[in-house]
A and B are shown apart, each in its own frame.
Chain A
């Protein structure tokens, strides 16, 4: 800690010297990015780093007097390594953190950042525990319960008479968080849940029993608050027994069309609730997708979009709060905490605003998969 403070002091001194010598109006803000860049969850971390970099390049090209530098550190989706990465970004002069990407490490790092007063904006860690009781941690993504509530509202608006079956992953906090909120909300809006079935392992492959439970109960809509890998198996196994209900997924379903070797006709008619879709015709989204594909030769997913919005939110907040390269992380933290609840960001993932608790408010969009691509569904409110 002492070394870090000393380092910060030297850095601040250097900055001051450079300010005097150039006397320029330009200032550079350093944002630490922490997420899994290697290992099993690398697909999420690298998307965040890439999406954030696209936003940074755009901002730096505008020459507004504020330049942004990212310091990206790998946590391998491991809480211990995330703490090391957290130390590394601060040692490298980060004034605030965009991260961490995955929930488990984020719970550890956010507790530490709360004590040390470092501002954190997580693009994608969606558990409520990430922000709970911490005034300095904000989210770009929906919370898990938020998604469950939104899904129940959407289904009630589109198919009020649906007989709903649910298949969820009981071993996963994300899945159970969405499912619990969905069940409560479904009861409030008068949805009829006829079957709830679960599985308990991330590598589960045989869903015949869970599907049979829904089928026998006469479900004509299956709600799948799970990731796309198990969802793809459920779609295939339903088809095998000629059972064709409507499938309704949440943001974890995003990515199913990019699964290598996946028979896209299986996903025909699948509905999903996600704040971002790369195929959207929205001008902002198209510009982002084009830049991303040009730079990385792959389509951006929701994590990239959330990170992009996160960088813009931090940039706007810094501009409004008058944070520059000389602001210490602790000072920046208090300024950002005061600034964030007043922000209005028109981002890729919708119109974003924040509650002082750190939770984001934005309107999710319902998409239906049609001819192997997302098509937007208009929902009458």
Chain B
């Protein structure tokens, strides 16, 4: 029972990271109608930037977060302007292949800059030591201890889950309540009509990429804080799994990315724990195949009626 609970929490934490990455995929897909396969590598760049700020420059982690977000934001905009914008009218296959190219470009640039050797990601954010709920919950050394010490959870797990929820709420509010959010929904629905209504489509798409990439930096720091190694290929696998999560939840839908990411994390962890520790990745992609077979629009995806 206790072990099931701790597997669930681990799954929830892993799923929350997938969810934040999936938000980036789903926003870009929903608004620009393209799959940005380089998204996973923007995560890796974000993690490297924060590593450099904390480890080489010895600045506080909060600054690392801000700098990493800013760098990734600029990177996202530059990638969009240089690689994707010229292909706005091209068939979607060309854009897809370009995105894969950008992904390799980022990985190899990182290897050139930071080398191929693994780096250990430093500890960034820790929970303060405390006793909560009348002494039933202890927090010490960034570990939360519950049920008389039988259930121990890493502070990173809780931090990841909280960050994930905050981001989702903020993003939903942004999309539904602000002028830019309205523009995004407009571009998503009909690019041509939105342009006729006076919406600056290029600006809207740039902002989408900026937000998605800034979220990638957050995801990178959370990912590497929980699993503290850093390589040029760090973002590749989580990126593909988050894409699966986005499809699972219904690509283009923000709550869908959240639900898909969290469910996928839990499925992966439970599958590893109770079926086979070596087939964790297989479960994730089996989910993708099943979803595509039975519900191609995903859990919360909208059915698109093609008008002839």
Binding site for B on A (CB under 8 A): 39-40, 42-43, 170, 197-201, 203, 205-206, 208-210, 212-213, 216, 229, 232-233, 236-237, 239-243, 259-263
What residues of A have a CB within 8 angstroms of the CB of B272 in the complex? 206, 209
What residues of A have a CB within 8 angstroms of the CB of B153 in the complex? 241
Is B302 interfacial (CB 8 A cutoff)?
no
What residues of B have a CB within 8 angstroms of the CB of A259 in the complex? 118-120
Binding site for A on B (CB under 8 A): 3, 6-7, 10, 14, 51, 55, 116-123, 141-143, 145, 149, 152-157, 227-231, 233, 237, 269, 272-273, 277-281
- CB pair B228–A236 under 8 Å, yes or no, is yes
If A208-B269, A213-B277, A263-B122 touch, whether A203 touches B227 (CB-CB below 8 Å) is no
**28 cross-chain CB contacts under 8 A:** A43-B117, A197-B277, A203-B237, A205-B229, A206-B269, A206-B280, A208-B7, A208-B269, A209-B7, A209-B280, A210-B277, A216-B3, A229-B229, A232-B120, A233-B228, A236-B228, A237-B154, A240-B143, A240-B154, A240-B157, A241-B143, A241-B152, A242-B141, A261-B122, A261-B230, A262-B120, A263-B120, A263-B123
Distance between Cα atoms of A107 and B145 in the complex (Å): 50
| Given contact pairs A206-B14, A242-B149, A261-B121, a sample of 18 additional A-B residue pairs in the complex whose CB atoms are under 8 Å apart | A39-B116, A199-B278, A203-B231, A205-B227, A206-B227, A208-B269, A209-B7, A209-B272, A209-B273, A209-B280, A212-B7, A233-B229, A236-B228, A239-B143, A240-B154, A259-B120, A261-B120, A263-B122
In the A-B complex, the 9 residue pairs with the smallest Cβ-Cβ separation, listed nearest first, are A240-B154, A200-B278, A205-B227, A262-B120, A261-B120, A241-B152, A208-B10, A209-B272, A242-B152
What residues of B have a CB within 8 angstroms of the CB of A201 in the complex? 281
Distance between Cα atoms of A113 and B154 in the complex (Å): 53
| Closest chain B CB from A242 CB (angstroms) | 5
What residues of A have a CB within 8 angstroms of the CB of B116 in the complex? 39-40, 42
What residues of B have a CB within 8 angstroms of the CB of A205 in the complex? 227, 229
* Chain A residue at minimal CB-CB distance from B233: A203
Distance between Cα atoms of A254 and B231 in the complex (Å): 19
- CB pair B55–A242 under 8 Å, yes or no, is no
- CB pair A198–B117 under 8 Å, yes or no, is no
What residues of A have a CB within 8 angstroms of the CB of B118 in the complex? 229, 232, 259-260
| Closest chain B CB from A44 CB (angstroms) | 12
- CB pair B119–A261 under 8 Å, yes or no, is yes
Distance between Cα atoms of A197 and B278 in the complex (Å): 9
- CB pair A209–B269 under 8 Å, yes or no, is yes
Distance between Cα atoms of A209 and B283 in the complex (Å): 15
Distance between Cα atoms of A206 and B160 in the complex (Å): 15
Distance between Cα atoms of A263 and B156 in the complex (Å): 16
What residues of B have a CB within 8 angstroms of the CB of A240 in the complex? 142-143, 152, 154-157
* Chain B residue at minimal CB-CB distance from A228: B118
- CB pair B227–A198 under 8 Å, yes or no, is no
Distance between Cα atoms of A187 and B226 in the complex (Å): 36
What residues of A have a CB within 8 angstroms of the CB of B117 in the complex? 43, 260
Distance between Cα atoms of A213 and B7 in the complex (Å): 11
* Chain B residue at minimal CB-CB distance from A41: B116
Distance between Cα atoms of A39 and B116 in the complex (Å): 8
What residues of B have a CB within 8 angstroms of the CB of A40 in the complex? 116
If A242-B143, A259-B118, A261-B120 touch, whether A198 touches B278 (CB-CB below 8 Å) is yes
If A208-B269, A241-B6, A243-B152 touch, whether A260 touches B277 (CB-CB below 8 Å) is no
What residues of A have a CB within 8 angstroms of the CB of B237 in the complex? 203
- CB pair B227–A212 under 8 Å, yes or no, is no
| Closest chain B CB from A241 CB (angstroms) | 4
If A206-B14, A263-B123 touch, whether A232 touches B278 (CB-CB below 8 Å) is no
What residues of A have a CB within 8 angstroms of the CB of B154 in the complex? 237, 240-241
Distance between Cα atoms of A197 and B272 in the complex (Å): 11
* Chain A residue at minimal CB-CB distance from B10: A208
Distance between Cα atoms of A242 and B122 in the complex (Å): 18
| Closest chain B CB from A237 CB (angstroms) | 8
